[in-house]
Amino acid sequence: MSDPKGTKAGTAVQKVEIDLVKERAEILRRYRGLLRAIRGTRTPEESRMIRKAFNIAVEAHKEQRRKTGEPYIYHPIAVARICAEEIGLGATSVVAALLHDTVEDTDLTLDDVKDLFGPTVTTIIDGLTKISGMQFGTDSIQAENFRKVLMTLAQDVRVILVKLADRLHNMRTLDSMARDKQLKIASETLFLYAPLAHRLGLYNIKSELEDLSLKFKEPDIYQDLSAKLKKGEAVRKRFISRFILPIREAMDKEGFTYEIKGRPKSVHSIYNKMLKKHVAFEEVYDVFAIRIIIDTRPELEKADCWKVYSIVTDYYQPNPDRLRDWISTPKANGYESLQTTVMSPGGRWVEVQIRSKRMDEVAEMGLAAHYRYKDEEEHSSALDNWLNRIREMLEDTGSNAVDFVRDFKLDLFSDEIVVFTPNGEMRNLPAGATALDFAFDIHSQIGRQCIGAKVNHKLVPLSQPLRSGDQIEIITSKKQQPKEDWLTYAVTAKAKHKIKQALREQKRKLSVVGRDAVQRQLRTWGAKVDNTNIAALIDHFGSKDPTDLYYQVARGKHVLDPLPDLQMKNGRVVLPKLKKTEDERSLEEVVAEIRGGDKNAALTLGDDLKKIDYQLSSCCNPIAGDDVFGFISPDEGIKIHRVNCPNAVQLMSNFAYRIVKARWKGKDTVEFLAGIKFSGIDDVGLVNKITTIISHEHNVNMRAISFESNDGIFAGKVMAYVHDTDHLNSLMDKLKRVRGVRSVERVDH
């Protein structure tokens, strides 16, 4: 008779073995899928290198598992497949992707990688390891990490492409992470990775990163918009096939080889449009776009695209304000396309994109396609210029990392304008750029000495925003020096960076004057001119360092004579500290308590918190029931923000180490100020109905109410005190049911 315990144990061992066998088979299946995804022909040497990288990665990660419980090796294979299939990278990048976590997470060293795979793969993996501070669960200062990302981008652009693939796979598998990690990673993705994908021309990846970020930051909004898009899918398909029928017939007659695709806009771009234009989903007019891709010879591309434009506008009326010619003047990332918006017979606007097969590949694959067309100088120079600009900006190590990233980001995600020098040379600048930005774009010395500008032969101030097609002449003077207020109207990262550099130089010169004044004053007091006495002055005035003390003395902000509390002891300066702010240690203790040990610990709002000050942030006016987080502010204790606050992305990305979890408790006893905006068709007695609902039916105290009526349309806004989000939502639902009211939404201010 067999021992039941032994049988049980045997079954368990057998089951584990079967699972491991299954896993090994699954790993091989995924690896074969990766090999099929690699485009173009591979040399036997490249195939051997990929196989070797795969074997090393499997061995190195064999003990590791992801949060989902799956073998960790699934992740490098998935990243390598994204590199090959969705970015179009070759064998070198695939090898780097397979090994991208080995140096950081396993016993494999960079020297091992160099011996096995050579210097190029090593450079890429080294770059990826340097920016690994941005992996999950770190409290390091994000801005410094972002700066590292850009430094590696300047070394070898494949580093950032593999990193984008890594981030995309992490975003696709983010469900298994805790809510606070999801928010941090989604914010980081929106803040830097989506703009980088955009600038590198990877529009599909950019859209997916944005959509996934929205999915985790605003799950309800994402689900609602996705459902609405899915619901209208069949109607959209019928509409598209009817819309393109006459275009197909005309293009067939002209003998074009072509492909026509209809694609819906991404959820994130629709949501952005709704926010920007304050419209409902149903009113976003270009929810989808038609793309016409023609197969034509390089020398005929431009003429053929315009020919197709002519065919489209023969059947449909174009909107003249919506024509974008990115063929004559490609974007800085090399994107080329002819775009127009036309009116369909059903009264709906439809965006039409016209491009050649090559242009489409560059638009889909971005930078990777650029390097494939490297021999065509004009198509690759724009990107190389941009990479050179990054390298130039990175040369200056003195700038503050947070400012550096914020300025740089402006260049990443803005639309572009095309302007001209007096000689007719074309320059690409971000939309909103000023004459001052143009001066710095020409040369940093011209920017520094710039005193004015002529735009289209008319004298304008330096703060004048430029428009596409403007011709600009810069007026300079050798006596001119950059001023602090220039930073308020410079838009490009290069201009801001150079202005800050010049201001720092001025500060250094001024601090020399201040140093002499401090030394003179110490001698006048009969004190020794040494570090101890200077440290006493720094401590008294609360300066950051000696340079800051000297600078403030030279500016007259710190006055050394007279100093009423000054005492001298044996040549030593004795001074009391100027007024101390709050006790920071207690703040740190509370934060440590929130973060330490218990996973569910959070700053509980609404309790009688004696230890710590917290304030509700005025930028998003959180109310009880909102999804919130705490941000540790050095001067104002902890500030509470809504998760969907306009500033949340930046705070979570740049200052993750200052973020603490927060939740509500005892919310019924408190009233919060909230704003509601509504609009609709004017009707007799409408104001009375609205005020009755607010004050009587919901017992809400109003602080302010305003109404405007114009040609039969009314718009109103009320600031009222509510208990929590349920109270507010119930009130908004009631207002939506009032006859004539078309839209009701919460406002932050």
Phi/psi for 173 (5° steps) reads -115, 30
What size, in residues, is the chain?
Answer: 749
DSSP lists the bridge partners of residue 709 as 714
CA distances from 645 to 174, 394, 626 (A): 21, 31, 11
Residue with tokens 């200077």: 534
Q: Counting beta carbons within 10 angstroms of the beta carbon of residue 665, is it exposed (0 to 12), middle (13 to 18) or buried (19 or more)?
A: exposed
pLDDT for residue 208: 93
Name the fold adopted by 672-747: Alpha-Beta Plaits (3.30.70)
- CATH 3.30.70.260 occupies which residues in the chain? 672-747
Secondary structure letter of residue 395 according to DSSP: T
- For 244, the enclosing helix (H) or strand (E) is helix 233-254
Task: CATH 1.10.3210.10 in the chain: give the residue spans.
Answer: 22-226
Catalytic residue among 23, 104, 180, 325: 104
Check residue 396 and give its pLDDT. 55
Give the amino acid at 294.
I
Identify the pLDDT of residue 211: 93
pTM as predicted: 0.62
Using alpha carbons, select from 184, 274, 185, 177 the residue that is nearest to residue 222.
Answer: 274
Mean pLDDT by 10-residue block, N- to C-terminus, for the chain (749 residues)? 40 50 88 86 87 90 83 92 86 89 81 86 80 43 60 70 90 87 86 81 87 91 88 83 91 92 82 80 72 91 93 91 84 81 83 90 68 47 61 56 58 71 84 90 89 87 86 87 83 84 84 85 79 81 80 77 72 65 42 49 54 69 76 72 76 68 60 81 76 72 77 81 79 84 79
The position carrying tokens 């100020």 is: 673
Written as six digits, the tokens of 302 are: 């431009």
Residue in the block written with tokens 């095309």: 418
| Among the listed residues 192, 153, 209, the one whose alpha carbon sits nearest the alpha carbon of residue 406 | 192
- So what's the pLDDT on residue 135? 41
Report the alpha-carbon distance of residue 320 to residue 323 in Å, rounded.
6
Alpha-carbon distances, residue 300 vs 188, 256, 371, 533 (angstroms) = 42, 12, 22, 76
β-strand partners of 324:
339
CB–CB of 676/735 below 8 Å? yes
Q: Which stretches does DSSP call E strand in 257-343?
A: 258-264, 288-294, 317-318, 324-325, 338-343
pLDDT at res. 498: 86
Peptide bond before 562: cis, by omega within 30 degrees of 0? yes
pLDDT value for 501: 84
Cβ-contact 642, 622 below 8 angstroms: yes
- Other CB atoms closer than 10 Å to residue 445's CB: what's the count? 12
Task: Please state, in angstroms and rounded to a whole number, the distance separating the CA atoms of residues 743 and 737.
Answer: 10
| Residue-wise burial string across 278-290, b where 16 or more C-beta atoms lie within 10 A, e elsewhere | eeeeeebbbbbbb
Paired residues of 349 in beta bridges: 343
Structure tokens at 241: 């096939």
* Residue carrying structure tokens 């994109």: 353
Query: pLDDT at position 354, please?
Result: 94
Dihedral over Cα of 385, 387, 390, 391: its sign: negative
Question: What distance in Å separates the CA atoms of residue 176 and residue 198, rounded to the nearest whole number?
Answer: 27
d(CA 532, CA 550): 15
Other CB atoms within 10 A of residue 348 CB:
14
First to last CA, the chain: 79
Active site annotation includes 697 = no
CATH for 22-226 (3.30.9.100, 1.10.275.10, 1.10.260.40, 1.10.3210.10): 1.10.3210.10
727 by Cβ neighbours in 10 Å (0-12 / 13-18 / 19+) ranks as buried
DSSP-assigned beta bridge partners for residue 660: 630
Longest dimension (CA), the chain: 104
Name the DSSP letter for residue 697. I
Give CA–CA dist 99/108, Å, rounded. Answer: 10
Q: Of the listed 105, 112, 505, 539, which one is catalytic?
A: 105
* DSSP SS3 for 708: strand
Strands 713-722 and 701-710: antiparallel
Count Cβ neighbours within 10 Å for each residue of 538-569 and write b for 16 or more, e otherwise: bebbebeebbbbbbbbbeeebebeeeeebeee
Q: How far from chain centre, in Å, is Cα 486? A: 25
105 carries an active-site annotation: yes
